[in-house]
Structure 1
Amino acid sequence: MKHTTRIVAVSGGLQRPSKAATLAEHLLELIAHEMPCEKHLIEMSLIAPQLAGAVLRSQLPCTAERALVEVEQADVVVVVTPVYRGAYSGLFKHFFDFIDQDALIDKPVLLAATGGSERHALVIDHQLRPLFSFFQTRTMPLGVYATDKDFAEGRLRNGALLERARLAVERAMPLVTLARHALPRLTIEAHVA
């Protein structure tokens, strides 16, 4: 049976509509244009209230648990977070604190962020890469950072940003393809061991 590649995007935006969700949806579409896949978007704004009071994963309601399982079972993860005071939000981090530390090993992860100005652009390399390095993921070589001026009427409008997003996905595809071909082998090895 052929495995359908599952791409899950996590948007760390805490409001709706969200620039982070808009960017996440755009990146999902670019990936879907390159390969057949099943795509899902998890919006932090919808599950943040459920995360806030939980200390243990067992305390989470089923909607939040389902979101965590979607990320853990994804073949490829796209992460987009707004920048708050130079980093991702506490609730965004809290969500990933509940992810099993071994669930994302070797999974391709495309990193992206949104912020009010260019001064936060290094959040991808200084905040997101170390977080996903802890999970032993394969972060894509090129991240995507968008500022408020890159959006108009709820859509991405800056040609340079659109080109960077396209290039980020193009450069990610060899690793995504490699991960797709490794999936059946990893599944078999997991059952044998």
Structure 2
Amino acid sequence: MSGFKLVGIAGSFNRPSKTLALVRHVSERASIRYGFTSKTYDLNDVGPSLGSALWRKDLDAQARRVVDEIVQADALIIGSPTYKGSYPGHFKHLIDLIDPHELRGKPIIITATGGGDRHALMVEHQLRPLFGFFMAHTLPTAVYASDR
């Protein structure tokens, strides 16, 4: 599958980040196994214009490049830290700036990190329905990693 482009996005500003480490790990494994080219980003890569953008056109050039990478990817690895049982607001805002048709049918591996086992259902109760709205093709198996 030469030329197949895999993009990972971690919905975290923290560095170091367990979520970014998980997204990178899944991305590297898939790239090595299947020969994909891959890039990974986090919310720091998107930059500060995300917080003030009401529309995608309001993003600065750096943020627009990351969003363009996301929508032009052949497949995505989406990772989110668990924040009070769900995904963080800035992560959701980034996803809200993407038109639903841009993710339609796109394969997505959903991943999440959390402090304990009780957050494990976040991938099923929060992330899977979010990308279901976009009519993306979330792979049946999600990856959740806790501190344990």
TM-score surpassing 0.5? yes
1:12 touches 1:45 (CA, 8 Å); kept in 2?
no
**RMSD value over aligned CA atoms?**
1.2
Q: Which runs of 5+ in 1 are unaligned?
A: 150-193
| Residues 133-152 of structure 1 mapped to structure 2, 5 A cutoff | 133-149=132-148
- Could you say what secondary structure the match of 2:102 adopts? coil
With over 3 angstroms needed to count, the CA separation of the structure-2 counterparts of 1:147 and 1:48, relative to structure 1, is farther
The answer to whether structure 1 residue 79 and structure 2 residue 74 are counterparts is no
Count residues in correspondence. 148
Partner amino acid for 1:61?
D
In the alignment, which residue of structure 2 is the partner of 1:97?
96
TM-score by length of 2: 0.96
Tell me, in whole angstroms, the C-alpha distance in 1 between the residues paired with 2:10 and 2:60: 19
Distance in 1, Cα, partners of 2:110 & 2:75: 11
Residue identity over aligned pairs, in percent, reads: 39
2:22 aligns to what? 23
Deviations 1:55-78 (CA, angstroms, capped at 9, x unpaired): 111111011111111010000100
**What is the alpha-carbon distance in structure 2 between the residues aligned to residue 103 and residue 83 of structure 1?**
25
Per the alignment, residue 50 of structure 2 pairs with 51
Contact 1:72 1:100 in 2 (8 A): no
1:49, distance to aligned residue in structure 2 (A): 2.1
Q: Deviations over 1:86-140 (max 9, x none)?
A: 1000000000011121011111100000001111100000000010001111101
- Tell me, in whole angstroms, the C-alpha distance in 2 between the residues paired with 1:127 and 1:32: 27
Contact 2:117 2:146 (8 Å CA) reproduced? yes
Would you say the 8 A contact 1:83–1:123 is kept in 2?
yes
Q: In the alignment, which residue of structure 2 is the partner of 1:166?
A: none
Structure 1 length-normalised TM: 0.74
Higher relative contact order (CA 8 A, sep 6+): 2
| Superposition misfits of 4+ residues, deviation over 6 angstroms | none
Give the aligned partner of residue 12 of structure 1: 11
**Distance in 1 between the 2:45 and 2:83 partners?**
18
Aligned partner of residue 145 in structure 1, secondary structure: strand
- Asked if 1:63 corresponds to 2:49, the answer is no
Deviates more, 1:41-50 or 1:87-96: 41-50
Which of these two proteins has the greater Rg computed from alpha carbons?
A: 1
